[in-house]
Amino acid sequence: MSNTLTIDINSKSCGSFLGAAIGDSLGWPYELRAGTVQVSYTGKDAFPDWSRRTGGRFYNHEEVIGAGDYSDDTQLILATARSLQYGKKWFDAFSLVELPFWTKYERGGGGATKRAAKLWLEGRQPWQAADKQRHQYFQAGGNGVAMRILPHCIDRAVDAEFRLLANDIFRNGITTHGHPLALIGALAYGYAVWHGVKVFKTLEYGELVDTLLSSVSDWGAIPSDNDLYGEWFDAANQALKNYQELWNKSLDSFVRNLEFIKSEIQKGALLVEGDVLGKIGFYDKRINGAGTVAAMSAVFIVSSNAINPEQGLLKVAKADGADSDTIASMAGGLYGALFGEEWAARYIEYVQDREYIRRISKQIVNNPGATDKTPPPITESMLTSFYNKLPALIADKKVILPDGRRATLLEGVEIAPETAKYSVVRYKFITDDSQKLYIKKFSRKPQKERTLLDYATTAHGKSDIARPQSVSNRIGVKIGTSLFEETIDFYSNRAGLEVKKKTNDYARFKNGLSVYKNAKNKNGEQTPSLVLCFMVEDIKAVFKNIEQSDLKIVTSLTTAEAESFFKCLDPNGYVVEFNQV
């Protein structure tokens, strides 16, 4: 490539990476209203410190997010970029190193990506996993692919055809998502970024939409010129019957929405952006996480605000009820591909890891150290060993991370969870290449050793000695009922049980009883349910034992926010929920 072109692409690569990070960090506090914050519209004040509740049922806690910190969107863009340093072996680097390690430092990661990453960690391709996991994978149509494929677009910027980039996007995408909505959205967005990087002229009003509509044959087909297509497509057809038909229907719907966007953009000054975004699903919480919705929303907002990128980015970053961080990240990446980094100058200095992001964006363009050497995969035992050693690490000392990078531990801070029985410690690392990573360790606090006196009472002058329950035998009961308030009244006011926590549809008592609101059945009748809840020390072993029996698994073993659980039926037909200690 010529020197002029290289300089321009360097600028566009930096602008694209930094624009994505800016959009992510601007939008994260607003992601489906992830936290309640007051944010001004410009400059430094657009990046506040804010907090979010996270940790699931057992480790629920409030985490303070630093001003300008980015979330999983930028984390996975950077993970993709690092994998490209392995040249032709980038797929192995991404699926066997980057995704497994990401499960330990992810911030706000999507369920589909986390589930798939854990399968790779266990040595299983998601499309070859057990039935339930494979079903979840092929139902995953979210924006988790579209949000991370930007580095591939920069890497292939000088290609004359989209074909090789399409295959890269497809291979990256199927590591975590199998539904056409995810892959079509990623391909369309990838084409828009690729086109933007190659454009060195003033962008015409609505040009991006026109470009996508005129090139559907380039980005709209299932990329089949790659080593994974055959076995993957066979699995896709088994899971979703006629996958090609589903793909075609999803593509047709996407193209119709693009045509609608084009017709609205042609109205010029009469365009009402909010109405357009509403009609394509931007505000609809049922579908606004889809890859196609994210792609068309980002393309639309960039097209309609091409003369004022800052304004366009802030509109989506602060949109009420939208998947704001991802769509703002995608819009920021697209703005950077078109205009470089000058448009975002007032925001760059406040974004987490800006120098690391700038450096890795340039490496993608020049790629001087690319190697085709296969990276050593991260195993479950390696990751567990690193995780368990966290409490023994010493601040300011160097450590080797599971992905092979060297890092320094800056601090370890305990975050108070909702219950004093558990501990949450957040470890902050800085890698030698200047990326900050936050890794949280969840654990059960050691219980005070109990003596006979702890179980003795002086009632009637006698000592009543009870046998303490072991952790693995602790039990709770959940009652689901449409007579929610009546049930709370019975157990609290009539039976005298103390309520520990109560919301509009859930209550927890101190003795282990929980009550939640159930809807009435279609006949308007009350349909109570009873769930027995156990805490066990080795949930995988328990799940395996029950899975090998004739008993029905109601909810397969699931891990989310550092907690694992599953539900089954016991021989009497009662629902039993097992939770990992």
User: Which residues sit in the known binding site for Mg(2+)?
Assistant: 71-73, 323, 325-326
Virtual torsion, Cα 280, 284, 78, 251, nearest 10 deg: -40
Q: Nearest Cα to 349, choosing from 46, 94, 10, 36?
A: 46
Q: How buried is residue 416: exposed, middle or buried, by Cβ count under 10 Å (0-12/13-18/19+)?
A: exposed
Decide: helix, strand or coil at residue 152.
helix
- The one-character DSSP state at 201 is S
Helix and strand numbers, DSSP H then E, in the chain: 22, 14
Q: What six digits make up the tokens of 254?
A: 């996407």
Q: Residue 455 corresponds to which amino acid?
A: Y
Q: Residue 515: CB partners within 8 Å, gap ≥ 6?
A: 478, 479, 480, 481, 484, 487, 488, 491, 506, 507, 508, 509
First to last CA, the chain: 57
- The one-character DSSP state at 350 is T
Q: Nearest Cα to 149, choosing from 122, 121, 112, 184?
A: 184
Give whole-number Cα distances, 411 to 62, 397, 414, 444, 504, in Å: 18, 10, 10, 21, 38
- The one-character DSSP state at 473 is G
d(CA 508, CA 577): 16
d(CA 259, CA 304): 14
Q: Residue 315 corresponds to which amino acid?
A: K
Q: What is the DSSP string of 206-250?
A: THHHHHHHHTHHHHSSPP-SSTTHHHHHHHHHHHHSSHHHHHHHH
Which residues does the annotation place in the binding site?
71-73, 323, 325-326
Q: What six digits make up the tokens of 551?
A: 């008993």
Q: What six digits make up the tokens of 572?
A: 């009497």
Q: Residue 240: CB partners within 8 Å, gap ≥ 6?
A: 138, 179, 246
**Cα-Cα-Cα-Cα dihedral sign, residues 199, 204, 206, 207:** negative
How do beta strands 422-431 and 475-481 pair? unpaired
φ/ψ (deg, to 5) at 396: 70, 10
Query: In which residue are the tokens 């092979």 written?
Result: 404
Q: Name the strand (E) or helix (H) holding 140.
A: none
Q: How buried is residue 462: exposed, middle or buried, by Cβ count under 10 Å (0-12/13-18/19+)?
A: exposed
Give whole-number Cα distances, 252 to 18, 71, 198, 255, in Å: 33, 32, 27, 5
Q: Nearest Cα to 301, choosing from 287, 284, 289, 318?
A: 318
